[in-house]
Amino acid sequence: MLDLLIIGGRLLDFKRGLVEENLGIKDGKISYMGVDFPQAKEVLELEAQIVSPGFIDIHMHEEDFVLSQGDYDIAKTMLAMGVTTAVAGNCGNNRQSLEAFLSQLNSSGSPINYMSYIGHNFLREQVGNRDTKAPSTREQTQKMRSLVNEAINLGALGISYGFEYCSGGSFEEAIGIAEDLKGKEGILLTGHYRYDGDRALESIQEMAEISKALDLPFLISHLSSCSAFGYMKESLDLIRDYREKGVKLFVDAYPYTAFSTYIGSDVFEEGCLERWGVDYKDIQLTQAPYENTRCTEEIFMDARKNHPKMLAIAHVMREEEIAMAMADPMVIVASDGIYSSGKGHPRGAGTFPRFISKYLRDEGLMEFVEGMKKITLMPAETLGLSNKGRLEEGCDADLCIFNYSEIRDQADFAEAQKPPLGISHVLIDGKFALRDGTSTEGRFGKFIARKNGS
Ligand SMILES: [Zn+2]
């Protein structure tokens, strides 16, 4: 007997399109798809909602368990927007050690499944190089190399780089810490570009060269905030060109015209406003004493000096270039969500409903079923998760059930964690994590170790 039978929905099956069939779950797996009504302990009746694979966020930033006092923060907003698996440790930055992150997940479970990278910038601090502008010594690089190996043994996906945040981290250092991963199956590298705007292409070239030198796939992070200053088309063309030549490049982007990072970081160094063609008022601060304040020169300088760990939101990118990235068939949609004490950018609570409602439904940027692959099947394949991101018998029953005419993001720059509309149920391993729009407070998520070749 099935544990659960879902009837009356429209199943998002990437082989056949949207099909009006029933879906059965047993022992956490999809065990039936068809028009019959096999016996089940429980039946969930839908009214033509879409039953989609749970969304997979291939680029986000996990909670800082010290700041959140051991509780989950972003994992909850992820769940509310339909995410069932997310990838932590991006942009070179882990918010705690991988060991601490794993021990939290293993001891309490998690609202969603997590995978993680080990971050280059985080490791630099671990080995005592706290100067982001200084190269690491040979000894420090060797130490990082062995810490990378330890993280890989714990199940990390690979290394994340945060070049823009650490100008001292050279190409040679990036290769040096990954020396033992060369050509190793199942490893994925990822990186936050070294320069944005007019130097975006040179940054993409550097990441492609790293991929070639190490013979490893490389996921270019959030192209939206790297290139949507007049360089999107050239950036996409360059990545496509590399891919056609056999370089294993992937790319993600988020559906907003503002980016977010710490006000004290190197991103906001002198010359940034000129480079983006914007003014101080286009930079918004998120926490006291400047909560929801647009900068003046004076506030900007004070925040950088006295509140460097405050998240800032920079309203600086061009909408037509964001749409171009969303529509490109090779671009994976991911949130880059990050919160600090619940404050930050709405992308951590709105990315996927926003992509579906704004770009697929309202603007009709691409065909619905094709578009949905960008948040399910494509990230699953890039991560080597052959049991997720698709509805097929035998796959994990991670599902997001939503009403296509009602789904919409609600989080905005004033209420950055406001949940979306239109998502009724989210299941993880066949269990209700969100039911009738409300979290069940289940902790069904776990840490997923790297799959391929592990
Ligand atoms: Zn980043």
**What is residue 453's predicted lDDT score, i.e. its pLDDT?**
47
> Per residue in 91-137, pLDDT tens?
999 999 999 999 999 999 999 999 999 999 999 999 999 999 999 99
Q: Note the pLDDT of residue 197.
A: 87
Mean pLDDT of the region 427-448: 98
- Inside any domain, residue 85: yes
Terminal C-alpha separation, the chain: 34
More confident residue, 19 or 453: 19
Check whether residue 68 and residue 32 sit in a common domain. Answer: no
Q: Is residue 407 part of a domain?
A: no
Measured CA to CA in angstroms, residue 199 lies from 90, 101, 196, 203, 204 at distances of 21, 35, 6, 7, 9
Query: How far, in Å, is the centroid of ligand 1 from the Cα of 299?
Result: 24
Domain check: are 177 and 42 in the same one? no
Residue type (1 letter), 336 = D
Where would I find the H helices in 130-169?
Answer: 138-153
Tell me: do 221 and 281 sit in the same domain: yes
User: From the CA of 162, how far away is ligand 1's center (Å)?
Assistant: 7
Residues 27 and 67 in one domain: no
Query: Across all residues in the chain, what is the average pLDDT?
Result: 96
- Segment 270-317, tens digit of pLDDT: 999 998 889 999 999 999 999 999 999 999 999 999 999 999 999 999
Instruction: Name the DSSP class of 197.
Output: G
Span 245-253, mean pLDDT?
98
Q: What distance in angstroms lies between residue 90's CA and the mean position of ligand 1's atoms?
A: 7
Residue 240 burial (CB count, 10 A): 15
Query: Is the per-residue pLDDT at 167 higher than 60?
Result: yes
Question: How far is ligand 1, taken at its centre, from the CA of residue 393, in Å?
Answer: 36
- Any domain includes 30: yes
Number of domains within the chain: 2
Q: Is residue 449 part of a domain?
A: no
**CATH at 231:** 3.20.20.140
Q: Read off the CATH number of the domain in which 9 is found.
A: 2.30.40.10
- Per cent of the chain over pLDDT 70 is 99
Distance from residue 8's CA to the centre of ligand 1 (Å): 41
For 369-408, the pLDDT digits (tens) are 999 999 999 999 999 999 999 999 999 999 999 999 999 9
Residues 244 and 362 in one domain: yes
- The torsion defined by the Cα of 264, 151, 398 and 377, in degrees rounded to 10, comes to 80
Amino acid at 286: T
Q: Which pairs count as long-range contacts for 402-407, CB under 8 Å and 24+ apart, including other chains?
A: 402/49, 402/50, 402/52, 402/82, 402/353, 402/356, 403/49, 403/50, 404/49, 404/50, 404/356, 404/361, 404/368, 405/361, 407/353, 407/356, 407/357, 407/361
136 and 41 inside one domain: no
Mean pLDDT over residues 53-62, rounded? 98
Same domain, 224 and 134: yes
Residue 35 Cα to ligand 1 midpoint, Å, equals: 45
Q: How far apart are the CA of 160 and the centre of ligand 1, in A?
A: 10
Please determine, for residue 243, whether its predicted confidence score (pLDDT) is greater than 70. yes
Q: How many CB atoms lie within 10 A of CB 274?
A: 9
CA of 25 to the centre of ligand 1 (A): 37
The pLDDT score that the predictor gives to residue 69 is 87
pLDDT over 50 (residue 454): no
Q: C-alpha angle with apex 228: 118 to 371, nearest 5 degrees?
A: 75
**DSSP labels, 289-322:** TSTTPBP-HHHHHHHHHH-TTSEEEEE---HHHH
User: Residue 452 pLDDT > 80, yes or no?
Assistant: no
CA distance 70 to 278: 39
Q: Report every protein residue that has its C-beta within 5 angstroms of ion ligand 1.
A: 91, 192
pLDDT tens-digit map of 331-342: 999 999 999 888
> Would you say residue 396 lies in a domain?
no
How many angstroms is it from 232 CA to the middle of ligand 1? 17
Tell me the CA–centroid distance for residue 437 and ligand 1, in Å.
30
Structure tokens at 293: 């304040």
What is the percent of the chain with per-residue pLDDT over 90, rounded to a whole number? Answer: 93
Ligand 1 centre to CA of 193 (Å) is 8
Q: How far is CA 250 from CA 126, 211, 246, 446, in A?
A: 29, 11, 12, 25
Domain containing 298 equals: 54-389
